[in-house]
Amino acid sequence: PVRAEDYAYAIKRLADPEAGSPMIGFMGRYIVGMEALTAELGDAPRDGWLDLRDFDLAGVEVLDDRNYTITINGRYPQFVYWLAMHFFSPVPAEVDAFFHNPGFTESNLTLDWWPVGSGPFMMVKNDPNSEIVLERNPNYHGDTYPSEGAPGDREKGLLADAGKAVPFIDRAEFRLEKAVLPLWTKFLQGYYDRSGEVHGNTNSVFDRAFVVGPEGLELADDLADHGITLSPDVKPGLYYYGFNMRDPVLGGYTEERRKLRRALQIAFDVEEYLNIFYKGNGIVAHSPIPPGIPGHKEGAEGINPYTHDWVDGEARRKPIEEARRLMVEAGYPNGRDARTGEPLKIFIDVQSQAISTTSMNWIDRAFSRIGVQVEFRPADWNRTREKLLTGNTQIFSHGWLADYPDPENFLFLLYGPESPLVCNCDGTNNASYERPEYDALFEAMRVEPPGPARDAMVARMVDMYREDAVWLYAYYPKDVYLNNAWVQNTKRHGISKNTLKYLRIDPELRVAKRRQWNQPVTWPLYAGTALIIALLLPGVIAYRRRQRATAR
């Protein structure tokens, strides 16, 4: 059984420099005594396994087998979310000792390669270049299917298994297909139950599966007739093109610079861009906070009033004439500097493998409507990251997926001290956005418990993001899974990935469908046989006639 001491040991491993956890610095600021333990473990002599139970961590106390306490510095309500992340998974001391046996590391027998847990499945094969296999854990403590869900779940049949023991399946195989066409073919033949994640910018093979209907992305008719279902997943994350707020042309906080950035925002028709290149498989982001995260607002109160109007019950992008008017007020009539007459050229850093010539042409045409020229600067990720760290960008692309469901996890993308140019680190504020009012509100918000006061702080920070036009555009990504007809309980969860235990398979239907979809094609054999007979028959007849003539 899992014991409280296993959690305490895992936290001590976070503090151990040998473990190399990326959370060692962050958690060291919060967990009382963790920095001191890190220093102590760094100086400790090591001859084989170092038993961390011999070292004290002031902020962690085991009370009994089922309870322990963590003491942190200051107030940080979001700390509870970190406890749900894999960094805090329990690690028994005996497991740590086992994997420190001599020769294990050289043989790739390590905890990160063969994790030990208490969940519904255990990994029996780990070959990332081919296949990963999970099997039912015979020692699983037991769990049942939920009896409550979101509105509409019951009508969709997602609560039909309420109260039943999970998991429903005995084995799960995850296979790597190095080409998309074989994956798609095998899925249609029924040899894969699910398609795996299909992103909005999927290639042309999967592209044929979708059409853009009145409700957004829908299955093509032939796949719907096949019994295939679609599981959409609006991820709690966003992708965006940001402005470098220190750039001498586009950056700054004067009203003229704000108007220039807003004009560019309006000219970049995100709705059209998503429909063309992502088949509508994304949602225009009016704020940095995605759906499902507190602080996200829908409807008229959720739109960015600088780029959109609320018309007939929906957000409508402001007309291009508004962008042209803003260009004039910003000092760039028809895209030319009013002082020098020089055309405005903007530079967009893109990752070479993440953008197509077609999309670059579309962006070029979008900005040409307000007289702005575009030059793309493609580079690989390492070079792009170097530019972000040094502020050597004008417009750049980036993204973020939620670590935990709190607005802090997105609003810190605009927190001044998180700028790489301020912290001299791999900070997340790549736009180098700096506004004292925003930073002060962020610092107050992150320690404020949930409630109206915190909601007001979040709303004001979102307003500042819109006022200052920090990002050129942003959208919330949507991914989908395709499921064959025999797969049930396919609802996705944006943050948690532990939904496999709820999946149910109808093996009899799977066998029947595979047989139906993979009938041998016999007509070529019959046709070939008939053709051979047709070719040989005249010769046989002629030969027999000659034989009879010779006999006479």
Q: Is 346 part of any domain?
A: yes
Sign of CA dihedral 64, 68, 71, 77: negative
Pairwise CA distance, residues 29 & 32, whole Å: 8
Q: Is residue 60 part of a domain?
A: yes
Helix 255-267 and helix 452-468, axial crossing angle in degrees, nearest 10:
90
pLDDT in tens, 166-188: 999 999 999 988 887 888 889 88
**Which of 284, 257, 261, 238 has the alpha carbon at shortest distance from 428?**
238
Residue type, 66: R
Considering only residues 254 and 205, tell me which one the structure prediction assigns the higher pLDDT.
254
Residue 517's CB is within 10 A of a number of other CB atoms, namely 13
Q: What angle do CA 234, 239, 245 make, to 5 degrees?
A: 145
Backbone angles phi, psi at 140, to 5 degrees: -60, 140
- Mean pLDDT of all residues in 205-216: 65
Residue 521 located in a structural domain: no
| Preceding peptide of 92 cis, ω within 30° | no
- Token pair listed for 179: 């080409």
Q: φ, ψ for residue 354 (rounded to 5)?
A: -110, 5
Quick one: CA dihedral 180, 185, 187, 192, positive or negative? negative
- For residue range 100-135, list pLDDT tens digits in order: 999 998 898 999 899 999 999 999 999 999 999 999
Read off φ and ψ for residue 508, nearest 5 degrees. Answer: -65, -40
301 CB-contact burial (10 Å; exposed 0-12 / middle 13-18 / buried 19+): exposed
Contact 174, 192 (CB under 8 A): no
> Does residue 38 carry a pLDDT above 50?
yes
- State whether residue 95 is helix, strand or coil: helix
Per-residue pLDDT reduced to its tens digit, 236-279: 999 999 999 999 999 999 999 999 999 999 999 999 999 888 87
Domain boundary (448, 478, 508) is at 478
User: CA 226 from chain center: how many Å?
Assistant: 28
Q: Say which DSSP state 100 is in.
A: T
Cα(44)–Cα(50) distance, rounded to whole angstroms?
9
Distance separating alpha carbons of residues 206 and 190, to the nearest angstrom = 16
Which position has the higher pLDDT, 49 or 425? 49
* 258, 329 contact by CB (below 8 A): no
Please indicate, yes or no, if residue 484 is contained in any of the structural domains. Answer: no
Q: Are 399 and 415 spatial neighbours (Cβ–Cβ below 8 Å)?
A: no
pLDDT reported for residue 64: 97
Whether 264 is in a domain gets the answer: yes
pLDDT at 222: 74
Residues 198, 191: Cα–Cα separation, whole Å: 17
* Residue 200 reports pLDDT greater than 60: no
pLDDT tens digits, residue range 295-332? 999 999 999 999 999 999 999 999 999 999 999 999 99
The whole-angstrom separation of Cα 242 and Cα 426 is 16
Is 66 within a domain? yes
Count of alpha carbons within 13 angstroms of residue 518, beta-carbon side: 13
Residue 144: alpha-carbon gap to chain centroid: 28
**Statement to judge: residues 241 and 378 lie in one domain:** yes
* Pure H helices in 435-479: 436-445, 452-468
More confident residue, 207 or 23: 23
Token pair listed for 18: 């040998």
Q: What is the CATH number of the domain that holds 43?
A: 3.90.76.10
Do strands 345-351 and 373-379 pair parallel, antiparallel, or not at all (unpaired)? parallel
> Is 2 within a domain?
yes
> In the prediction, which pLDDT does 337 show?
96
pLDDT (average), residues 89-103: 94
Please, what is the average pLDDT of the chain? 90
233, with CB counted inside 10 A (0-12, 13-18, 19+), is middle
Distance CA 263, CA 257 (A): 10
Nearest to 359 by CA among 422, 436, 423, 277: 277
Specify the pLDDT at position 15: 94
For position 536, what pLDDT does the model report?
A: 79
Asked, for residue 196, whether it belongs to a domain, the answer is: no
Backbone angles phi, psi at 34, to 5 degrees: -70, -40
What is the phi/psi pair of residue 227, to 5°?
90, 5
Q: What is the pLDDT of residues 466-496, one digit of tens each?
A: 999 999 999 999 877 889 999 999 988 877 7
Secondary structure E strands in 224-266: 229-234, 237-243
Answer with the one of 478, 502, 521 that is the final residue of a domain. 478
Tokens of 13: 């491993």
Tell me the pTM. 0.81
Which CATH number fits the domain that encloses residue 357? 3.10.105.10
Beta carbons of 482 and 230 less than 8 angstroms apart: yes
Whether 200 contacts 210, CB under 8 Å = no
Q: Are 48 and 100 in contact (CB under 8 A)?
A: yes
Is the per-residue pLDDT at 528 higher than 90? Answer: no
Domain coverage including residue 275: 237-478
Say yes or no: 280 and 429 in one domain.
yes
> By mean pLDDT, which of 112-116, 210-214, 443-447, 499-503 is the weakest?
210-214
What's the structural domain count of the chain?
Answer: 2
Using a pLDDT cut of 70, give the percent of the chain over it.
95
Look at 120-124, 287-291, 547-551 and tell me which has the smallest mean pLDDT: 547-551
Give residue-wise pLDDT tens across range 401-447.
998 899 999 999 999 999 999 988 888 999 999 999 999 999 999 99
Instruction: Tell me what the mean pLDDT of segment 281-291 comes to.
Output: 94
Among 478, 506, 529, the domain boundary falls at 478
Compare 367 and 529 and report the one with higher pLDDT: 367
C-alpha span between 438 and 496 (Å, rounded): 30
445-452 long-range Cβ contacts below 8 angstroms, 24+ apart: 445/407, 445/408, 445/411, 446/76, 446/78, 446/408, 446/412, 447/74, 447/75, 447/76, 447/77, 448/77, 449/77, 450/77, 450/294
Report the pLDDT value the prediction gives residue 85, as an integer from 0 to 100. Answer: 87
pLDDT band at 201 (very low <50, low <70, confident <90, very high): very low
**Amino acid making up residue 293:** I
Residue 377 has pLDDT above 50, yes or no: yes
**Residue 215 pLDDT grade (very low, low, confident, very high; cuts 50, 70, 90):** low
Please name every residue paired with 198 in a beta bridge, in sequence order, or none if there are none.
480
* The dihedral formed by the CA atoms of 212, 217, 218 and 223, expressed in degrees to the nearest 10: 100
The tokens for 231 are 């599981």
Share of the chain above pLDDT 90, in %: 66
pLDDT above 60 for 462? yes
